[in-house]
Amino acid sequence: MGQALGCIQVDQSTVVVREQFGKFDHVLQPGCHCLPWCCGYQASGTLSLRVQQLDVRCETKTKDNVFVTVVASIQYRALAEKASDAFYKLSNTKAQIQAYVFDVIRATVPKLELDSAFEQKNDIAKAVEEELEKAMSAYGYEIVETLIIDIEPDAQVKKAMNEINAAARMRVAANEKAEAEKILQVKRAEGEAEAKYLSGLGIARQREAIVNGLRDSVLSFSGNVPGTTAKDIMDMVLITQYFDTMKEVGASSKSSAVFIPHGPGAVKDIASQIRDGLLQGKHAPV
């Protein structure tokens, strides 16, 4: 605002309150205006029409007796058509708005528990805005927006809430880990059972193949050598396989020492043991 030779310049988004001999006369809009001081006119003051912001911190407690600090952001502006009310009726606009915000928050938050207060921030902001709109419209101000930008519990309460949340997540993680280990153990047991079953089938088929091979050998030998019994041929075949096995054990560099009874009388016993084992394997279930 500039003034020279009885003229005054009013900047954009600003109005000037003009008085004549100390009495309100007119609201000057942006532009250049004559203000003859000789007639008692004077510029009493300026009023900004821009949107202004006021952050209010209010400490209160919730229904479950937790002290919190609620931070509200109030955006307001003076109305051009009610500029005289906004200029004359309030001496401290920010203090007036702050008082109304305190009153509404301390009447609303104690009805809510802490978790509900976080969930219902919009409801708290709406209650504050309605009360401010009703009160400040009489003074020539418009409430543009009301926001609850933060709810800050006590530091110890925040730490306890974080510990509760961490414990709950650890419990879920432990359950998931236990369930995964259970699945692994079940699958491992199923695999071992299937492997043992297939191994048993392989051993039974191996023994059956050995028995069938020995039988074919006995039949072929008895047909080519008359006068021999099946028992004689079986003993000879088994003893031959026995010595072949001993030869392989001795020829292997990684084999361990094997101590068995050996002598002329032990050969008959070995043949009987091998024969009994093969006959038992033949009759084993497949």
Give the mean pLDDT of 268-286. Answer: 59
Give the mean pLDDT of 184-192. Answer: 89
Compute the half-sphere exposure of residue 282: CA atoms within 13 Å on the CB side of its CA: 12
Tokens of 95: 């203090």
pLDDT of residue 205: 85
221-272 pLDDT, tens digit each: 666 766 667 676 667 767 777 777 777 777 766 666 555 655 555 556 666 6
pLDDT of residue 262: 57
Strands 141-153 and 31-34: unpaired
CA 93 to CA 86: how far, in whole Å? 9
What is the pLDDT confidence band of residue 275, given thresholds at 50, 70 and 90? Answer: low
Is residue 154 predicted with pLDDT exceeding 90? no
What is the pLDDT confidence band of residue 2, given thresholds at 50, 70 and 90? Answer: very low
Q: Report pTM.
A: 0.54
Evaluate whether 78 touches 48 at the Cβ level (below 8 Å): yes
Q: What is the mean pLDDT of the chain?
A: 81
- How many Å from the N-terminal Cα to the C-terminal Cα in the chain? 109
Q: Measuring CA to CA, which residue among 140, 137, 111 is closest to residue 124?
A: 111
Task: Give all strands of the β-sheet with 31-34 in edge-to-edge order.
Answer: 2-4, 7-10, 31-34
Is residue 215 predicted with pLDDT exceeding 90? no
Is residue 286 predicted with pLDDT exceeding 80? no
CA 17 to CA 13: how far, in whole Å? 14
pLDDT of residue 260: 60
Angstrom CA distances, 184 to 187, 231, 242, 254, stand at 5, 53, 44, 36
pLDDT of residue 246: 73
